[in-house]
Structure 1
Amino acid sequence: MPRTPTAALGGGCARMTRSSKFEQILRGRNSVLDVPRAAKVRTGVQEKSNVAPKRIPKVWEWGASMVTVQGSWLWRELGGWCPGNSACLSAQSTMPSFRTGNGDVLSYEDADGAMQMGVSGILIARGALITPWLFTEMKEQRHWDISSSERFDILKDFTNYGLEHWGSDTQGVEKTRKFLLEWLSFLCRCIPVGLLEHLPQKINERPHYCMGRGYLETLMVSQNVDDWIRIR
């Protein structure tokens, strides 16, 4: 089933427009953690309506030790950095800031390109769910044509960690299955390097129905939930 965008539910980047709830979350986090806390904000929820310059000073007041700023609006916008970043950062002068180059990073080329924009560093979210080996590719500056068996080993590790954490009883199995299927809804978006017509894959690209180089790979690039169940 199609997902309802988090912002439409008042979460995600829309949380910064709900100042009371945002404050409760940050102050609540401060009450249970004894390590420095960071908060990540976007420039805003709607284009040409930057909320971050007003919100950043409050984030500092509510107990964050550092703020990271992503210069884009909603997740469906491709490209993670825009001039709005500068306006956001000028809203505060004493609070440690981390101007991020995140937004749709799915390859080492994307990461390198972001770093060339003069950012402090990179945050990666969905890209790591689609290709968990992305960090190895970034470190080694290469594309990894990871085999279906290697991908399956990652899934087995994930499942074992889930059962170890939640238990192997009925409730633990159901909890692990829930998160496994949720992750597979991202992992299936990865088009194996050996099947790509051009490199690198962009985060908005989806694999069309295709035959993999083996039965397991075919299941892994399928958009069909029944195939994900067969994998597990």
Structure 2
Amino acid sequence: MPSPWPDSLILAPLTKGGNLPFRRLCVDFGAVVTMSEMAFAGPLVRGFRKELALLRKGPTEPCFGVQLAASKPETAIPAARAALERGAAFIDLNAGCPIPEAVHKGMGAYLLDRPRHLERILQEMTRALEAPVTVKLRSGFKDSRINVMETSRLAEEAGVAGIVVHGRTREQRYTRAADWDLVGQVVKARKVPVAGNGDILTWYEARDRLTQSGAAGLMLGRGALIKPWLFQEIHEGRELALSASQRVAVYRRLAGYFREHFGEDEHGRQRSVDFLGWHFAFFHRYRPLPAEEWLERSREHPLLQTRLDPVPTEDPLEMVLACPATSIHRRIAEILLLSGDDGEAEERLVELACELPPRGESPGRTEDQAGG
């Protein structure tokens, strides 16, 4: 069966992180298939502007999919039509989101425990919609109820064009490594294309996971949030190892995209600072991971799930970019947005190094906020 995804790499639907400016940056680095943040079907159908804004497709996005959270086909179908009218190439039903806001309303990972209901939603969506319908699954709701073989079979029978499997249960969240052997079992059992998701931070881990599972593609979440150039690294089979100055240029480009998106007035500037500061909860985790040093270790345990010590450095620019403190992230965002060029931004960031708090201040974020 032909794949609904024209490339083997898919940018995951990332809560807050999957905003249009960030997706635009990922496209700059080779992303072909991008996805909206998860949108709730009910508010979309009722015309809520905040939810409808999630459906906006950027002009540079070659293949843009919209992910919906829905508890019944009666809302999923009109919400999907609204997305297709705005340029979505495919519709994805979320059956894996772990957050209580979704689960307590019968959406997301809740559907894993109601396989027949999930099948009915997908069946009615595939019958009603002309565009491809895909579904994102977790391995199960609880560790004691691993049922992705059943849910993927029912999804295939319902007529989906593709399946994404995140190899963790809702109960596990990010406490364990993703189970790529299980992803491989789903790949072998299904005729429709199956993509895998979980713990991909480097080009060599991507290569190994594709080989291990036989998946048709990879969905990139946290790895792309940490380094948006991950798409280029995987496509080219090499690490880019961007210097601090090169990363500042990338982050300033993103700042410019936020400025274009939210506007130049005070309200727009504050929104840009908020979003860009949020992204630094992930950007600050970047560190070089050359294959000759890290390949074997990545095969023992995924690097995204490994506590990596900061790289020792006396470079003030590197120190600022690696700072985990949320207060510094906001300051970085302000500097990037207000600086006239990369050189000015670097100078001001180096000055900020004098104000760094002691190591150990909590970043105050949770992995589940990002999704993917």
Which TM-score band (shorter chain)?
Answer: 0.7 to 0.9
Alignment correspondent of 2:175: 76
Note if contact 2:166-2:178 (Cα within 8 Å) is conserved in structure 1: no
Shift of 1:186: 0.8
Q: Which structure has more strand as a fraction of its residues? A: 2
Alignment correspondent of 2:269: 173
Q: Indicate yes or no: 2:258 matched with 1:162.
A: yes
Q: Distance in 1 between matches of 2:175 and 2:145?
A: 17
Q: Deviations 1:78-109 (Å, cap 9, x if unpaired)?
A: 2441236525874x65xx23142x31111112
Q: Match for 2:111 among 6, 10, 16?
A: 16
Aligned residue pair count: 222
Q: Distance in 2 between matches of 1:28 and 1:224?
A: 47
Q: Match for 1:7 among 83, 89, 98?
A: 98
Shift of 1:231: 1.8
Q: Indicate yes or no: 2:313 matched with 1:222.
A: no
Q: Cα gap change, 1:51/1:192 in structure 2, threshold over 3 Å: closer, same or farther?
A: same
Question: For structure 1, which runs of at least 5 residues remain unmatched after alignment?
Answer: 1-5
Q: Match for 1:120 among 200, 209, 216?
A: 216
Q: Match for 1:131 among 227, 230, 240?
A: 227
Note the 1:15-164 alignment, pairs <5 A. 15-17=110-112, 35-56=131-152, 59=155, 64-73=160-169, 74=172, 75-83=174-182, 85-86=184-185, 90=189, 96-100=192-196, 102-117=197-212, 118-164=214-260
Note if contact 1:72-1:80 (Cα within 8 Å) is conserved in structure 2: yes
Note if contact 2:259-2:268 (Cα within 8 Å) is conserved in structure 1: yes
**Alignment root-mean-square deviation, CA:** 3.8
Alignment correspondent of 1:3: none
Alignment correspondent of 2:285: 189
Shift of 1:13: 6.2
Greater alpha carbon shift after TM alignment, 107-116 vs 60-69: 60-69
Q: Indicate yes or no: 2:298 matched with 1:199.
A: no
DSSP-derived class of the 2:109 partner: helix
Q: Distance in 1 between matches of 2:146 and 2:248?
A: 42
DSSP-derived class of the 1:168 partner: coil
Note if contact 1:52-1:88 (Cα within 8 Å) is conserved in structure 2: no
The alignment's TM-score, normalised by the length of structure 2, stands at 0.49
The alignment's TM-score, normalised by the length of structure 1, stands at 0.74
Q: Cα gap change, 1:29/1:157 in structure 2, threshold over 3 Å: closer, same or farther?
A: farther
Q: Distance in 1 between matches of 2:198 and 2:263?
A: 35
Q: Which has the higher contact order (CA 8 A, sep 6+)?
A: 2
